[in-house]
Structure 1
C-alpha cells in the first residue's frame, strides 16, 4: 500500500466519519474513519469533482 497522508476525520450527524487522503503519486483516497486500510482510490481530479458535486447538492438525495 502506498504512503497515504490522511486529513482529520470529517464526521456528519450520527457520527458517520470518513477521511480523505492523498499520496505522492497524485492519487486520492476516501475511507471510513478507523478503516483506512480499506480505502477507495481514484485520481485527485475525480475526488475534486466528487466534492464539487456534493457541495452543489447533487448528492442530497442520498442523505
Structure 2
C-alpha cells in the first residue's frame, strides 16, 4: 500500500463518510472512512464513482453550501 496521508473524514447525517488523501508523489486518493485499505486513486473511475455517489445522495456533504 502507498504511504498515504489521509485528511479528516467528510461526513453528513446518515451518509457514508469519505476521506481524501495524498501520497508522497502527489497522487490523490478517495476512500470510505474506515476502509482506507480499499481506496481508489485519481483516475476516471474515481471521478465516476464520486459522481455516482453524489447522484445517489451519498456525498451531498462534499458539495458544501
Give the TM-score category using the shorter length: 0.5 to 0.7
Q: Indicate the residue corresponding to 2:38 in structure 1.
A: 38
Aligned length: 51
Q: TM-score, normalised by structure 2?
A: 0.64
Q: TM-score, normalised by structure 1?
A: 0.65
Uncovered stretches (5+) of structure 2, i.e. residues with no partner: 58-65
Comparing both chains, which one has the higher relative contact order based on Cα–Cα distances under 8 Å and sequence gaps of 6 or more?
2
Partner SS state of residue 2, structure 1: coil
Q: CA deviation at 1:15?
A: 3.7
Q: Considering only CA atoms, is the larger Rg found in Structure 1 or Structure 2?
A: 1
Structure holding more strand per residue: 1
Q: Within 5 Å, which residues of 2 pair with 1:50-61?
A: none
Partner SS state of residue 29, structure 2: strand
CA distance in 1, matches of 2:28, 2:16: 20
4+ residue stretches of structure 1 with deviation over 4 A? none
